[in-house]
Chains A and B, each alone.
Chain A
């Protein structure tokens, strides 16, 4: 069975600092990996995804993630965060892109 672990429930960071949100997954087969972002009082929206090919994936708003098969990780990074990046970030895994299994989320709080 698939599962996703987001190691940090909250990540506080100052504006313009770099940030990394960690995600590890478990699956017995090849997977597709996603990061979704949820702004306050809104639904989730896709930030980026890994389906195949290059292990470094670039998404919207300057975020990127690297797929590491040996470490079963898909960490999300941004070199310089803005106040507007304050949100909840969800890592998700899927074996067939139909059914997503989400992690518990990481709340990124950016301080001025």
Chain B
């Protein structure tokens, strides 16, 4: 099993640009989570999906952030427009109903200049 796949691994962009982060969960997993990790705030849950439906997006910081899951094998997290304070490592994780273990991807390190 390839595990959770995230792309790109690194992204450097300029303030105001649109950024799209991608995630492919483990096959068969029906839950998908997006986290953000910063030095100041640690690891924060942004949003999670069950069977491609957003269940809790209370952690999404503001309207500039949006997430979609068009099918069971793909999700995106979009930031538009990006700001320097969005610089962080963004993790995607997946699990299946009945499991208590989340499997994390390697993360995308985003730098907004």
Residues of A whose CB lies within 8 Å of any CB of B are 32, 34, 36, 41-46, 49, 51, 90, 94, 97-105
Question: Can you list 22 contacts pairing A with B, beta carbon distance less than 8 Å?
Answer: A34-B100, A41-B106, A42-B106, A42-B107, A43-B4, A44-B43, A44-B91, A44-B93, A45-B103, A46-B101, A49-B101, A90-B43, A94-B100, A97-B99, A97-B100, A99-B48, A100-B45, A100-B102, A102-B45, A104-B42, A104-B43, A105-B43
Which residue of chain A has its CB nearest to the CB of B97? Answer: A98
Chain B residue total in the interface (Cβ 8 A): 22
Partner of B42, one of A41, A97, A103: A103
Residues of B whose CB lies within 8 Å of any CB of A are 4, 31, 33, 42-45, 48, 50, 55-56, 91, 93, 99-107
Contact B48 A43, beta carbon cutoff 8 Å:
no
In the bound assembly, the distance between CA atoms of A70 and B18 in angstroms comes to 48
Contact A43 B106, beta carbon cutoff 8 Å:
yes
Min C-beta distance of A73 to chain B, whole Å: 19
Other A-B contacts than A44-B43, A98-B50, A101-B45, 20 sampled, CB-CB below 8 A, are A36-B104, A43-B4, A43-B104, A43-B105, A43-B106, A43-B107, A44-B93, A44-B104, A46-B102, A49-B101, A51-B100, A94-B100, A97-B100, A98-B31, A100-B33, A102-B45, A103-B42, A104-B42, A105-B42, A105-B43
In the bound assembly, the distance between CA atoms of A75 and B38 in angstroms comes to 23
Contact B56 A102, beta carbon cutoff 8 Å:
no
Interface hub of A43, A90, A97 (most chain B Cβ within 10 A): A43
Interface hub of B4, B42, B99 (most chain A Cβ within 10 A): B42
